[in-house]
Amino acid sequence: MRLASLFLIELVAFLLILGETYVFFAVVVPLGAVPRSPLDYTGYALLKLGLTFGLGVLWFVLVDSSARLYVKSMLKRRTPTLSS
């Protein structure tokens, strides 16, 4: 099945979207629901922004790494070595 690895990358991207959505709702959104001071409010807002950005970066890094790993493994498989 020549497309199996690519289906897997696609599935990883899909599951990350779902998983990160859950983390966003369950962890990021409730942070600092009742801020006690204006400083708290700003701090939590920045923390939420940072975590949301982090989730985005995590998606890109994992999906990019999976593709790079795939390219590397396929190129290695095609390159003749001394032992072959």
Burial annotation 8-31 (CB, 10 A radius, 16+ → b, else e): eeeebeeebeeebeebeeeebeee
Q: Which is nearer to other proteins, 47 or 74 (CB)?
A: 74
Residue 1 CB, shortest distance to other proteins, in Å, is 10
**Residues at the interface with other proteins (CB under 8 A):** 2-3, 5-7, 9-11, 13-14, 17-18, 21-22, 25, 29, 60, 63-64, 67-68, 70-71, 74-75, 78
Q: Which is nearer to other proteins, 6 or 47 (CB)?
A: 6
CB atoms within 10 A of CB 52: 15
